[in-house]
């Protein structure tokens, strides 16, 4: 497994903590920036990271900004990305189990480093529950993305 990482200046502390966790646990990763606390534009790093997940170079992604919100909105604009902002363990687990999220987003001004590492661990190690209801719903999400969804049921 290989994890794509990205952040803006507001999420650098969380990304650094996640990198230490990944290295300690011998989990491969690629860091797409940013690399210091100078102000940067989060869409750049959301796109770089999400693109690596979509093209299959990385299995999952982790993005961090001040709240996790902006970077998740930008990542979700990349076709094929299901990015979720998470700040609790239950959500980190369920976004993988039920939504098959492929990018975890967290906020450096919302949670601390210890919690970020715990959430990353849960996200990375939780499998998708391949059940008909989840597959059906994800198919609907894909249809929305493709512009072919119909609400008629």
Active site residues: 65, 98
- Give the span between the Cα atoms of 100 and 144, in whole angstroms: 16
Instruction: Give the closest residue to 35 by CA, choosing from 54, 53, 21, 48.
Output: 48
Q: Parallel, antiparallel, or unpaired for β 83-85 and 60-65? A: unpaired
Place of tokens 């979700």: 76
| Residue in 50, 60, 1, 2 with CA at minimum distance from that of residue 29 | 2
């Amino acid at each position: 497994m290989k994890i794509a990482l990205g952040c803006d200046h507001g999420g650098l502390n969380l990304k650094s903590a996640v990198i230490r966790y990944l290295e300690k646990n011998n989990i491969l990763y690629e860091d797409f920036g940013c690399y210091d606390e100078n102000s940067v534009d989060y869409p750049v790093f959301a796109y770089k990271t999400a693109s690596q997940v979509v093209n299959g170079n990385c299995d999952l992604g982790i993005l961090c900004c001040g709240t996790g919100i902006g970077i998740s909105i930008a990542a979700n604009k990349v076709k094929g990305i299901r990015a979720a902002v998470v700040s609790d363990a239950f959500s980190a687990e369920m976004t993988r189990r039920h939504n098959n999220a492929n990018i975890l987003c967290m906020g450096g001004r919302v949670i601390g480093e210890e919690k970020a590492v715990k959430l990353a661990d849960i996200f990375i190690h939780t499998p998708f529950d391949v059940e008909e209801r989840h597959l059906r719903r994800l198919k609907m999400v894909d249809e929305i993305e493709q512009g072919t969804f119909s609400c008629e049921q």
